[in-house]
Amino acid sequence: MPKILYLVTEDWFFASHFMPMARTARDLGFDVAIATQPSDKAERIAAEGFRLIPLNAKRGSAGVIEALQSMIRTYRIVRDEKPDIVHCIALRPVVLGGLAARRAGARRLVLAPTGLGYLWTTDGVFIRTMRALVKRAVASWLRGPDTRYLFENTDDPRAFGLDPDGGDVFIVGGAGVAPQDFPYLPEPPAPPVKLAVVSRMIAPKGIADAVEAVRQARAAGAAVELGLFGAPDPANPLSIPLDVLRAWGREPGIRWQGWTDDVARVWREHHVALFLSTYREGLPRTIVEAAAAGRPIIACAIPGCRDLVRDGREGILVAPGDIAGAAKAVARLAADAALRQDMGRNANRRFLEGFTEDAVTGVVARLYGSFGLSPGR
């Protein structure tokens, strides 16, 4: 049977977002292996019948020596495994893993940046140089007749000079969410109107902007409360310190709840999703889950978010960094239950149109099928 090897830095990221893709590959007849940094999610991956290969890559490291070591480890894994397809997930594995895989003889590559992240949200001579190298690697050095690209929005391929409608480019509505996991339910009683941020607690996710927007809305008389659901990310230099999160949680109308494994409950108990990220997301899973549950969304008009949320229909879009605009959006939805419910219904319909797990895995199946492999080859 043909073999597919996924390259991804963290097993928790794979387990929470990409298991449906691996199941699709298995259902198509592929032997599935995943090279990643193992943690407590390794057993969940193994329970699916997938083979986990320790990659021992450091997600937060940008050092040259560590990058070379990572490429060497990946080279050896690909050389030993001899996969028919190497599927690289997220920008670092796409570049380092893709180059190492190609050097090890891999012919068929799936390059899947799940967002453009730090390199596309900051500036400076070094960042611009790195961005240029990444563009060259993705769109030129790794491109070939058996290279496929998998993006989560239509803006990201253009950042590499690729045509979103090209035959080697596939667009999916995020990682896919199963409707049964986030059932559409009527909103809970109000007031107060409860907003939630479900995210890693890192600065580019707009956590501080969300807190300030709710402060301003409350100061203007809006009966709103904010719940922050998520943990800091020690591997990320832009992680929000614990003392800051705890201080916010002591403010009136703001609660830091920490990490939760029951996001469906969050949307059962809250009225509005607030996500003011300025990070170059692919398509944030958090807003797809909120849409599935029928909750209106206040988000920044950035790639990914605006692929799901259309201003005035599924929610309200504001310019990145426009805290006053976000505060007005919070107050507007707090004051108008009919508008919240109408936008929530629209969000659920939008989700069902193309952001479900079935819709995403259907695209992935077409992508894998485009290589012309079949069991026994």
Question: Residues 152, 282: contact at Cβ < 8 Å?
Answer: yes
Mean pLDDT score, 87-107: 96
Look at residue 61 in the predicted model and tell me its pLDDT: 55
Alpha-carbon distance 372 to 116, whole Å?
30
Look at residue 121 in the predicted model and tell me its pLDDT: 81
Alpha-carbon distance 74 to 96, whole Å?
8
DSSP H helices in the chain: 11-17, 19-27, 42-47, 64-81, 91-92, 98-103, 125-136, 155-159, 207-219, 242-249, 263-269, 285-292, 305-308, 323-335, 337-354, 357-369
Look at residue 377 in the predicted model and tell me its pLDDT: 46
Question: Residues 217, 334: contact at Cβ < 8 Å?
Answer: yes
What is the secondary structure of 10-49 as a DSSP string?
A: EHHHHHHHTHHHHHHHHHTT-EEEEEEE-STTHHHHHHTT
Span 315-366, pLDDT tens digits: 999 999 999 999 999 999 999 999 999 999 999 999 999 999 999 999 999 9
User: Is residue 59 over pLDDT 60?
Assistant: no
Mean pLDDT score, 238-252: 96
Q: What global pTM score does this model have?
A: 0.92
Domains of the chain (ranges; CATH) run: 3-176+357-369 (3.40.50.2000), 179-353 (3.40.50.2000)
Which tokens sit at 33?
């292996």
Look at residue 35 in the predicted model and tell me its pLDDT: 96
Span 98-150, pLDDT tens digits: 999 999 999 999 999 988 887 888 888 988 999 999 999 999 999 999 999 99
Look at residue 236 in the predicted model and tell me its pLDDT: 82
Looking at the DSSP assignment, which residues form a beta bridge with residue 300? Answer: 318
Closest CA to 179 of 289, 285, 263, 27: 289
Span 164-196, pLDDT tens digits: 999 999 999 998 999 999 999 999 999 999 999
Alpha-carbon distance 196 to 41, whole Å?
26
